[in-house]
Structure 1
């Protein structure tokens, strides 16, 4: 890689060349190339993460473009393929892989097995459960965020040392109609996900393990919620030992 591209982050004392080498070797898969996925993909590629995978079965629509900034000019194209084109334009040194189809209980373990970190940028709770469960079983860290209008949340799950999982926070799925969203809300929380991913890979700073941040950008109120492993969590307690399609219903 041409390290001159990354000079401004390499000169950060606690990051340096070692941090850049870790990013260069890293493999990160982003699930969803939408409002959250756009800033995640942008900042991971710009930072020099060596291999980035993008999973998305949807096509780009004009209503996406207030927040899904990586797809400008590519309406009608599959989002994963569009995202890979964007990555190559932004940073030709990055290896990018498109998965232009839906994640399912049948393919998720095979897809996740070759990646170091999973970034969840999806808007379905059932799909979040599937991603969470697969990451737990494979012991792959998962960076989560969710957004609504001007609000959102973010947390990092490492599934290590008794840390909680997504089911510990949300034991039951509550699906809502597609919410309204400002582009800046998705951009804000997607950037937090990118930061968490880079910190985790480069081994600096404090990640959001065991603590969820919630922010309302309308009032600029910030909350930090301590999250612990729930005693009767189906996943953490060992009740869930495999990916059973019947558990996730229609995704």
Structure 2
């Protein structure tokens, strides 16, 4: 039986690297899903929420809930956006008798895409190969809010020829932190500098993660430091799209 899922693309993927969205669709379809991309989606409200702008965060949350609630499952190629919907939407509407149950219902059926493929569907990529060594960074929101850790690694281990190199401090923040990197650029740059050094020390060809914001931050620092490590969202490799331009290489 085909499972219908709604893809919440995220505004960063939509604006900066749409191929992540297409990779998510390809992997989900390979796993037997019928993927719908709801037209009413925009931003989940995370930047406003992180900045203390409760009114705008709530407005965006309402818009997102209305766009997503008709679907049986919602998948997101971002641990931070999935975490916002799953963990923080019910907090936003705490005490609101009308919106709290709607927020809770949407939260309960929202999944990070790799967790959905691995845990819910029990799927693994087939007939995909890449001769490379990769290292993996665990993004903060996905790891701490959703427990995204083993799921992407299980999927990646099914790719022929791909070797995974351990990353020192793999669970340590990369310094992006959404609006943190804008508010505290010097601290952010110091943190990502340490992360870039650790990535280079692995000897890996590829840097993988599950959040585009983190990947853009790390890829930018690696590029500025002259590193040859190329960055991809893990779902790109899992979907067989690891032969395209890396993050930051697009024309």
- TM over 0.5, shorter chain: no
In terms of fraction of residues, the more helix-rich structure is 2
Normalised TM-score (structure 1): 0.30
Normalised TM-score (structure 2): 0.30
